[in-house]
Chain A
């Protein structure tokens, strides 16, 4: 993956949520974490579409969990952020900080 590849807004949010959840990151917990912290309603499909894209880029890895009765006997799919994923977060943060530097955002009407 290129060193200039920055994360999209939702990719960024999903990666941070997976990082926060550590080894408990799967569809339900990632969705709830995002809803609680960003007050933004997201669908399970949006989470999986983004996680699959991030996995294809090598930013996350997934592993299957055990089937549970409350899931109708279906297994969970746990995610964790990889080292390139952490680098992509740093790179995106640096770019945003650099762009925001010197701007009086608190004083603006935005």
Chain B
């Protein structure tokens, strides 16, 4: 089999997304299979069509791996997502409360840093919310072995759906939340931050696993 030119490499983002789903062993063999077929297609046709094929296969593979991850352990995963959702629900407003409590002890509005105080309140609240979401994602992912990204994605969808309900009032019309433009964007970023927490834990675990394998290899090599 002829190897494609060095610049014809599989799309790294697609490969990275595949590696986030399924077990580490699964990812190793699946990415190897995808690259082998990609090399074959790239050696016979245009690089663009090989890349298109790779993306198409990757997205279908991610959907299959996510579905299999849920089917293999549906109840533990559902319990974990529900626990994460309840934690998110009950900790709503906690970062804002902490920021306000700190600011009150400093009494910044009584000195020359009033502008800083106002900007801190404006940008500090959303940033604190994002940090809280990342930590929540990390916590949920820590308990979801091999399914870190599946669990945090499910949690972010559940959180997003519950916030979506706030956009409608009791009569089914758009509520005032839907018109306060930063609100939907801030909430969307918060939900993405949960998935980011899952990705961080997944990457740390993969790096630790790789480090252990290299250590074992060096040990046996000596």
- A interface list, Cβ under 8 A from B: 26-28, 31, 43-46, 48-49, 52-53, 56, 64, 67-72, 74-77
Contacts and interface: CB of A to CB of B under 8 A. Distances in A.
B142 interface: no
Nearest 3 Cβ contacts at the A-B interface: A45-B61, A74-B32, A45-B64
A75 B29 contact: yes
Contacts of B65: 45, 48-49
A49 B32 contact: no
Contact of A45 (B1, B37, B63): B63
A45 B27 CA distance: 10
B60 to A, nearest CB: 4
Given A26-B29, A48-B30, A52-B26, A74 B35 contact: yes
Interface residues of B, number: 27
Contacts of A48: 22, 26, 29-30, 61, 64-65
B33 A71 contact: yes
Contacts of A69: 3
B32 A46 contact: no
A81 to B, nearest CB: 18
Chain A interface main SS type: helix
A44 B33 contact: yes
B131 interface: no
Contacts of B63: 45
Nearest to A43: B60
Contact of B36 (A45, A46, A70): A70
B28 interface: yes
23 contacts: A26-B33, A27-B32, A43-B61, A44-B30, A44-B57, A45-B62, A45-B64, A46-B61, A46-B64, A48-B64, A49-B64, A49-B68, A53-B68, A67-B32, A68-B32, A68-B36, A70-B1, A70-B3, A71-B36, A72-B10, A72-B35, A74-B32, A75-B32
Contacts of B3: 69-70
A41 to B, nearest CB: 9
Interface string B1-33: 101000000100000000000100110111111
A71 B3 CA distance: 10
Nearest to B33: A27
B182 interface: no
Given A43-B64, A48-B64, A70 B39 contact: yes
Interface in B38-88: 39, 57, 60-65, 67-68, 72
